[in-house]
């Protein structure tokens, strides 16, 4: 049983991560190190983080569901189904391979996603911009992101925001859409991880409590923050996380 100061630390980490997930993604970069500091091994920390943050992801996703939609000729329900299937494959993959390989790719993935998001969000577009990504390509990209999301998950918000904005979605809709898709892929992983026997449930409950509050706060901010401020926030957080992960 974690000590009280560890519980409070994890709850605070959950609050920050829940808010960040709702606005931009990358919350697992807060929860994963926090769980390592709490004494969990990397695999258990990865699984516990996924299970603990799922309720807050659901909260923020449902709160902003009206803004979620399809893009680039791909309907939202198709994106949702792709995310579920990819999340299952990624979670199963975690059982048969160690997470070290994907963990080494995280800094490069976050760097790539942040760069692509910055280009997609700040480039000049006409009022009715046409999609710059074919339907089949968006489906493949989302499927790959979903597999990675079920396996490790760090940076999936940035990857989806990059893909969705390049495909033609505006930032507000892309944020709500990626929240719904993240919920879909993590639902698959959570169902599998919950029965793994590796979850630290006291730590998960502390993270979950903070994460739900953070998810509500982030969902409230989605409707109130100016789009330009949201774009700047995403790029700044991505840059900081990239530097942190390379130094780590």
CB–CB of 247/110 below 8 Å? Answer: no
Report the Cα 58 to chain-centroid distance in Å.
Answer: 12
- pLDDT, position 127: 41
- Output b/e per residue, 66-100; b: 16+ Cβ within 10 A: ebbbbbbebeeeebbebbbbbbbebbbbbeeeebe
Among 87-101, 113-127, 212-226, where is mean pLDDT lowest? Answer: 113-127
Name which of 76, 86, 148 is nearest 113 in CA terms: 148
Query: For residue 145, is pLDDT > 70?
Result: yes
As a whole number, mean pLDDT of residues 202-207 equals 94
Assess contact for 211 and 54: CB atoms under 8 A.
no
* Averaged pLDDT for residues 30-50: 85
């Amino acid at each position: 049983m974690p000590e009280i100061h560890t519980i409070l630390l994890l709850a605070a980490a959950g609050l920050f991560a829940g808010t960040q997930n709702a606005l931009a993604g990358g919350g697992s970069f807060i929860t994963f190190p926090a769980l390592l500091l709490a004494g969990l091994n990397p695999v258990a920390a990865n699984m516990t983080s996924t299970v603990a943050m799922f309720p807050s992801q659901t909260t923020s996703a449902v709160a902003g569901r009206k803004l979620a939609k399809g893009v680039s000729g791909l309907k939202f329900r198709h994106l949702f189904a792709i995310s579920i299937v990819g999340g299952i494959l990624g979670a199963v993959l975690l059982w048969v391979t160690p997470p070290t390989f994907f963990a080494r790719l995280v800094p490069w993935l976050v760097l790539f996603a942040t760069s692509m998001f910055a280009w997609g969000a700040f480039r000049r577009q006409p009022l009715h911009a046409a999609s710059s990504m074919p339907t089949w390509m968006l489906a493949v990209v989302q499927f790959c992101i979903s597999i990675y999301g079920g396996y490790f998950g760090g940076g999936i918000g940035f990857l989806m925001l990059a893909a969705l904005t390049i495909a033609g979605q505006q930032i507000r809709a892309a944020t709500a859409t990626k929240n719904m898709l993240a919920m879909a892929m993590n639902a698959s992983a959570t169902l599998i991880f919950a029965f793994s026997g590796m979850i630290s449930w006291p730590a998960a409950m502390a993270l979950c409590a903070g994460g739900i509050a953070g998810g509500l706060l982030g969902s409230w901010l989605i409707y109130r923050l100016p789009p330009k401020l949201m774009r700047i926030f995403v790029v700044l957080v991505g840059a900081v996380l990239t530097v942190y992960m390379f130094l780590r």
